[in-house]
């Protein structure tokens, strides 16, 4: 092994892959069979980068050679950068040796498009196949589905990979046309549709025959870049909601655009990464998936943008004061989940604990409720509760006054005159 | 107030519970024998661990708690968190004194505390599953040293045994001076004698030749995936507290 050459390739191809934010290694049920190597189940973050993101998988490109010229991408054809390509064996060796040392949960393999879609996809599949069949590797494998690859290759990919993903790149078709004129949204949706149908089919098959092979057990995900094109949060979340509903996606990732290239269609190079907006989008995404919120309750024609100062749940609550206060000792779970300052775990604990006795503020605090936020919206087993007739704006001011958002330290919010 | 001194084992804890009910004690404090200082002007009772008494308490607990609840209690005790014995005693007494199962009664301070202890221990266990860094020795064994906050090594066996079924490995707790060794069939607890190693060079020579290459590749990878424009040191340190750094290849 030529250590220097591998190191150089790894640096180039890991660097080019890092803008793909997904690093999930959960949701698969792959067991270690016949004393092979590894398993995949709940997902473990083995390390964290200095920007605070989880490192769970060996996330690399097979190559950063690419025939496309997408404006937002570092690997675009017209960008003058160093190019490199791994061989199949090199990726396999790296994966196995990192895995055996407990550095990673598995491999996340993506690639620039060289020659054509099938040629690229075939290489990705070959690596997954080799790991599974020749090395008895049961760790997690996430493969990119290359838009335009043939159904046969996608089928094979699903048999070896735990998760497959196609990046939508831009939240809307118009955004994509603007920045990636060579790419076609339909080409991305086709493999998604194909895999969705195939996953459902294989699941039914597995119910009948236990020995039926697993097919992409961790499902599909996608990623959209935000802040590179002028879409509103409403457009972003509506689009995410559509993909969750129509394609059973496990996750939609929102990647705040990191200005890496000068292009008049893109934000200037010195623009800040929209990290607060990204964070708010994830919070909204969680509300849709775990808190029973409908996308239109979070963003709509009147509120096309998420409030950057406060989280979307608090923002919804102060727009809907008529729904509060609720009695924590009586209300249904789905209402308790809507209270700012109460998360899913605390809500479940409340439901369990109140069967024994009525809960008071102290107990709620111990259970993990953030009482300084929740107190404006609930009553409990106590004579103390918010008696003033506060408006939503009052509450927002009170809460903002006592909590300092980690992101907004040096950026006081703009005066809101209306 | 009666102070009960016990040997620190789970059986000892159960025997202490037996004594409390047998002697109809009300206000009690439980402490480990070795932690106890000098003789005070207080009521001290030395608990002598007794299998029969412990067995009776365990039988009673089985009626009051679900198998999972009992397992959680055992894990909470095994973690050896200082000063938590009294909360465990409180939990067990509350379980015995109530008619119904109390495992979900989070309004009760002992139930809430035990749930917090379990969460803390689980987090430490999960951290170890993440932060163990094996180094390959010349004899083919993958060796990792750890210093967990609590005694979680026994909780790690199942995970590592099913994941690394085809390689020999050792995970060694330097703080508590014992480790687990897996020989591709079973695991056993072991103690290593580090006193014979005098020079750091002797340790390095025990590693395989490609060990340093993969370590350096991993470090390179770790730095390549970082996006400097998104630097967030606070978040980074919250996820990997500094006390774990010395055993993390990428942070050394």
B169-190 mean pLDDT: 94
Q: Which of B109, B167, B182, B217 to mutate to test the interface with A (most CBs of A within 10 A)?
A: B217
pLDDT of residue A418: 44
Kindly state the average pLDDT of the residues A34-63. 91
- Distance (Å, whole) CA A161 – CA A337: 35
Give B68's contacts (C-beta < 8 A, 6+ positions apart): none
- pLDDT above 70 as % of chain A: 96
What's residue A2's pLDDT? 85
Q: Looking at residue A161, what is its pLDDT?
A: 96
Tokens read off for B189: 């607890």
Quick one: what percent of chain A has pLDDT higher than 90?
A: 68
pLDDT band at A411 (very low <50, low <70, confident <90, very high): very low
More confident residue, A265 or A252: A252
Closest to B146 (Cα-Cα) out of B161, B119, B127, B120: B127
Q: What is the ipTM of this complex?
A: 0.90
Across chain B, mean pLDDT equals: 91
Which whole number is the average pLDDT over A323-331?
Answer: 94
Buried residues in B224-251 as b, exposed as e (16+ CB within 10 A): bbbbeebebeebbeebbeeebeebbbbb
Taking the CA of residue B121 and the nearest CA in chain A, the distance in Å comes to 16
Taking CA atoms, B11 is separated from B6, B14, B63, B68, B182, in Å, by: 10, 5, 18, 18, 27
* Residue A146 clears pLDDT 70, i.e. is over it: yes
pLDDT band with cut points at 50, 70 and 90 for residue B203: low
* pLDDT bucket at A108, cuts 50 / 70 / 90: very high
**CB contact set of A228 (below 8 Å; sequence gap of 6+):** A72, A170, A175, A179, A257, A266, A267
Q: Establish if B245 touches chain A: CB-CB under 8 angstroms.
A: no
Mean pLDDT, residues A153-171: 93
Q: What is residue B197's predicted lDDT score, i.e. its pLDDT?
A: 64
Tell me the pLDDT tens digit for each residue of A334-381. Answer: 999 999 999 999 999 999 999 999 999 999 999 999 999 999 999 999
Instruction: Give one word for A345, left, alpha or beta, with left for phi > 0 and alpha for psi -120 to 50.
Output: alpha
Alpha helices for chain B (secondary structure H): 10-22, 51-64, 67-78, 85-97, 109-131, 153-163, 200-204, 211-224, 233-239
Chain-centre distance for alpha carbon B58: 22
Q: Residue A412: what pLDDT?
A: 44
Q: Residues 7-66, chain B: which have Cβ within 8 Å of A?
A: none
A7 neighbourhood in chain B, CB within 8 Å: 216-217, 220
Tell me which residue of B153, B70, B76 sits closest to B118, measured CA to CA: B76
User: Which backbone phi and psi does A258 adopt, to 5 degrees?
Assistant: -95, 115
Determine contact: A97 vs chain B, CB below 8 A: yes
Q: Which among A367, A376, A378, A371 is positioned nearest to A397, based on CA atoms?
A: A376
Question: How far is A23 from A17, CA to CA, in rounded Å?
Answer: 11
A93 at the B interface (CB within 8 A)?
no
Backbone angles phi, psi at A215, to 5 degrees: -130, 110
A32: alpha, beta or left? (left if phi > 0; alpha if psi -120 to 50):
beta
Q: How many CA atoms lie within 13 A of A211 on its CB side?
A: 0
Q: How is residue A99 written in tokens?
A: 């895995």
Quick check: A7 contacting B, CB < 8 Å?
Answer: yes
Cβ contacts (< 8 Å) between A259 and chain B: which residues?
A: 229
**What is the residue-averaged pLDDT of chain A?**
90
Contact B163 A46 (CB under 8 A): no
Contact A51 B167 (CB under 8 A): no
Which pLDDT tens digit goes with each residue over B54-72?
A: 999 999 999 999 999 999 9
Token pair in block for residue A241: 């909601």
Stretch B24-36: mean pLDDT = 86
Nearest to B230 among A36, A51, A356 (CB): A51
Confidence of residue A302 (pLDDT cuts 50, 70, 90): very high
Subunit contact B164:A44, Cβ cutoff 8 A = no
Would you state the pLDDT for residue A213? 86
Does the beta-carbon distance from A51 to B228 stay under 8 Å?
yes
pLDDT value, residue B201: 55
Other CB atoms within 10 A of residue B41 CB: 5
Intervals of CATH 3.20.20.70 along chain A: 3-272
> What residues of B are in contact with residue A256 (Cβ under 8 Å)?
230
Chain B CB contacts of A48 below 8 Å: 235-236, 239-240
Q: What is the pLDDT of residue B14?
A: 96
Q: How far is B242 from chain A (nearest CA, A)?
A: 12
CB contact at 8 A, A227 and A277: yes
Domain with residues A3-272, CATH architecture:
Alpha-Beta Barrel (3.20)
**Cβ <8 Å between B221 and A10:** yes
Average pLDDT on A62-66 reads: 95
Chain A and chain B share a number of CB contacts under 8 A equal to: 161
Question: Tell me, what's the pLDDT at A181?
Answer: 87
Residue A294: pLDDT band (50, 70, 90) is: very high
Smallest Cα distance from B243 to chain A, Å: 14
Chain B residues whose CB is inside 8 A of the A98 CB are 214, 217-218, 221
Which B-chain residues 94-153 have CB contacts (< 8 A) with chain A?
A: 102, 104-109, 112, 126, 129-136, 142, 144
> What number of other Cβ atoms are within 10 A of residue B46's Cβ?
12
Tell me the average pLDDT across A71-97: 93
- B235 vs A47, A52, A273: nearest CB: A52
A183: pLDDT confidence band, cut at 50, 70 and 90? confident
In the predicted model, is pLDDT for residue A57 greater than 50?
A: yes
Instruction: Verify whether the Cβ–Cβ distance A47 to B248 is below 8 Å.
Output: yes
> In percent, how much of chain B has pLDDT > 90?
77
Q: Measure the CA angle with vertex B92, ends B91 and B95; round to 5°.
A: 90
- Return the domain boundaries, chain B: 2-122, 132-251
Residue A415 pLDDT > 60, yes or no? Answer: no
Is the predicted pLDDT of residue A50 greater than 80, yes or no?
A: yes
8 A C-beta contact, residue A144 and residue A176: no
Q: Please identify which residue in the block is written with the tokens 């599909």.
A: A220
Region at B175 (left for phi over 0; alpha for psi -120 to 50; beta for the rest)? alpha
Spell out which residues of chain A touch residue B230, defining contact as CB-CB under 8 Å: 51-53, 256, 258, 273, 275
pLDDT digits (tens, 9 = 90+) for B91-121: 999 999 999 999 999 999 999 999 999 999 9
């Amino acid at each position: 092994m030529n250590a220097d050459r591998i190191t150089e390739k790894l640096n180039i191809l890991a660097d080019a892959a890092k803008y793909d934010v997904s690093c999930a290694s959960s949701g698969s049920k792959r067991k270690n069979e016949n004393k092979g190597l590894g398993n995949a189940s709940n997902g473990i973050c083995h390390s964290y980068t200095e920007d605070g993101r989880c490192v769970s998988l060996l996330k690399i490109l097979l190559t950063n050679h690419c025939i496309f010229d997408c404006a937002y991408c570092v690997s675009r054809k017209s960008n003058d950068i160093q190019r490199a390509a791994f061989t199949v064996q090199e990726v396999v060796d790296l994966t196995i040796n990192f895995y055996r040392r407990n550095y990673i949960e598995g491999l996340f393999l993506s690639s620039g498009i060289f020659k054509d879609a099938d040629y690229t996809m075939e290489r990705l599949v070959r690596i997954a196949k080799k790991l599974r069949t020749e090395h008895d590797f049961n760790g997690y494998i996430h493969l990119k589905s290359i838009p335009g690859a043939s159904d046969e290759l996608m089928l094979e990919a699903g048999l070896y990979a735990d998760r497959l993903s196609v990046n939508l790149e831009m939240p809307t078709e118009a955004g994509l046309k603007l920045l990636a004129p060579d790419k076609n949204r339909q080409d991305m949706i086709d493999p998604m549709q194909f895999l969705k149908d195939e996953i459902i089919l294989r699941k039914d098959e597995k119910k009948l025959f236990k020995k039926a092979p697993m097919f992409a057990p961790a499902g599909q995900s996608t990623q959209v870049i935000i802040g590179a094109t002028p879409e509103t949060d409403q457009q972003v979340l509506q689009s995410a909601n559509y993909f969750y509903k129509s394609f059973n996606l496990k996750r939609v990732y929102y990647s705040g655009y990191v200005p890496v290239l000068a292009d008049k269609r893109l934000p200037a190079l010195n623009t800040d990464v929209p990290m607060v907006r990204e964070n708010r989008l994830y919070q909204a995404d969680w509300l849709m998936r775990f808190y029973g919120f409908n996308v239109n309750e979070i963003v709509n024609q009147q509120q096309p943008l998420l409030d950057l100062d406060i989280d979307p749940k608090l923002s919804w609550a102060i727009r809907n004061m008529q729904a509060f206060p609720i009695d924590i000792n009586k209300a249904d779970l789905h209402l308790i989940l809507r209270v700012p300052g109460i998360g899913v775990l605390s809500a479940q604990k409340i439901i369990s604990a109140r069967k024994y006795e009525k809960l008071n503020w102290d107990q709620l605090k111990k259970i993990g409720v953030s009482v300084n936020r929740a107190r404006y919206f609930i009553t409990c087993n106590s004579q103390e509760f918010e008696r003033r007739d506060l408006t939503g704006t009052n509450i927002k001011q009170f809460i903002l006054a006592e909590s300092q958002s980690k992101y907004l330290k040096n950026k006081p919010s703009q005066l809101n005159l209306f | 107030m009666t102070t009960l001194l016990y040997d620190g084992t789970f059986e000892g804890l159960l025997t202490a519970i037996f004594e409390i009910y047998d002697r109809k004690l009300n206000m009690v404090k439980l402490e480990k024998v070795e932690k106890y200082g000098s003789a005070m002007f207080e009521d001290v009772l030395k608990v002598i661990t007794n299998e029969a008494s412990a067995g009776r308490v365990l039988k009673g607990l089985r009626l009051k708690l679900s198998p999972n609840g009992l397992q959680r209690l055992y894990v909470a005790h095994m973690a050896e968190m200082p000063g938590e014995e009294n909360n465990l005693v409180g939990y067990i007494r509350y379980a015995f004194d109530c008619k119904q199962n109390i495992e979900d009664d989070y309004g009760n301070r002992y139930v809430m505390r035990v749930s917090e202890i379990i969460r803390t221990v689980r987090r430490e266990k999960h951290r170890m599953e993440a932060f163990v860094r094996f180094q390959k020795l010349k004899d083919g064994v993958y060796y990792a040293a750890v210093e967990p906050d609590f005694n979680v090594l026994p909780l790690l066996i199942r995970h590592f045994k099913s994941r690394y079924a085809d390689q020999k490995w050792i995970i060694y707790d330097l703080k508590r001076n014992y480790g687990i060794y897996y020989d591709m069939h079973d695991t056993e607890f072991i103690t290593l004698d580090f006193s014979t190693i005098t020079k750091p060079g002797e340790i390095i020579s025990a590693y395989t030749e490609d060990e340093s290459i993969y370590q350096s590749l991993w470090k390179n990878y770790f730095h390549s995936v970082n996006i400097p424009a998104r630097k967030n040191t606070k978040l980074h340190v919250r996820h990997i507290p500094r006390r774990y750094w010395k055993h993390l290849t990428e942070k050394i």
